[in-house]
């Protein structure tokens, strides 16, 4: 489990089909083989690990299902990636409950400056839009965000300067796809409603 609070921005170093090698600033001694790291919101398993002078490099294997549902199929060396280590018992839950199981992709439609913040308008696939509600939570590229408004399959978010500078969001533009994980509780409530009908 994760919180959607990004702790590092890593870099894709190498790709070999569904195997990716990334660089991070994490202490390699704090990461065990088999550990989970959310990479742009996708929970991935560390399969190899190597120390570097300023952190580490680690390898993850990605299934065809994950490549099809997420933006990972478009990853190339040099890409910046939002990273978050998995939640440990006793850690502060500052964002919202994020599983790292991405539901699909949302597309950035528009971007406008709002003082020092920045507003984004996105569109979700119709089958996921029903889980997105005003003042609810979504995870986009692993970042826990509050939904400002919803109109059909379109929804808006507002990013503060801290988020823009500490994640990959500062460089995102209209037309870009991002990994979308809808709120876990919204998903279960909707499932319960199906059985009541």
Report the distance separating Cα 78 and Cα 135, nearest Å. Answer: 34
Q: Tell me, what's the pLDDT at 73?
A: 96
pLDDT beneath 70, residues of the chain: 188, 190-195, 197
What pLDDT sits at residue 192? 65
The two domains 8-85 and 104-196 share their CATH topology (first three levels equal): yes
CATH number of 104-196: 2.40.30.20
pTM of the model: 0.93
Enumerate the domain spans of the chain.
8-85, 104-196
Count of beta carbons in the 10 Å neighbourhood of residue 141: 28
Q: Determine the straight-line distance between the first and last CA of the chain, rounded to whole angstroms.
A: 31
Which pLDDT does position 191 carry in this prediction? 64
At 93 the pLDDT is: 72
For residue 193, give Cα distances in angstroms to 135, 170, 185, 188: 21, 38, 12, 9
Please give the C-alpha separations between residue 94 and each of 2, 37, 58, in angstroms, as whole numbers.
10, 17, 26
CATH 2.40.30.20 corresponds to the domain 8-85: yes
Sequence-ordered list of residues with C-beta below 8 angstroms from that of 165, at least 6 positions apart, any chain: none
């Amino acid at each position: 489990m994760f919180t959607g609070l990004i702790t590092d921005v890593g870099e894709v170093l190498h790709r070999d089909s569904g195997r990716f090698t990334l660089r991070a600033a994490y202490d390699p001694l704090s990461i065990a083989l088999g550990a989970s790291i959310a990479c742009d919101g996708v929970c991935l398993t560390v399969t190899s690990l190597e120390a570097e002078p300023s952190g580490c490099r680690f390898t993850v294997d990605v299934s065809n299902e994950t490549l099809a549902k997420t933006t990972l199929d478009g990853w190339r060396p040099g890409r910046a990636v939002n990273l978050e280590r998995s939640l440990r018992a006793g850690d502060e839950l500052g964002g919202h409950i994020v599983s790292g199981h991405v539901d699909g992709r949302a597309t950035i439609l528009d971007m406008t400056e709002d003082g020092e913040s920045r507003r984004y308008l996105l569109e979700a696939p119709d089958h996921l839009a029903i889980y997105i509600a005003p003042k609810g939570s979504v995870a986009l590229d692993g970042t826990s965000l509050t939904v400002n408004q919803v109109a059909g399959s379109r929804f808006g978010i507002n990013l503060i300067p801290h988020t823009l500078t500490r994640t990959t969001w500062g460089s995102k533009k209209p037309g870009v796809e991002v990994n979308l994980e809808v709120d876990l509780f919204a998903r279960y409530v909707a499932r319960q409603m199906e059985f009541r009908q």
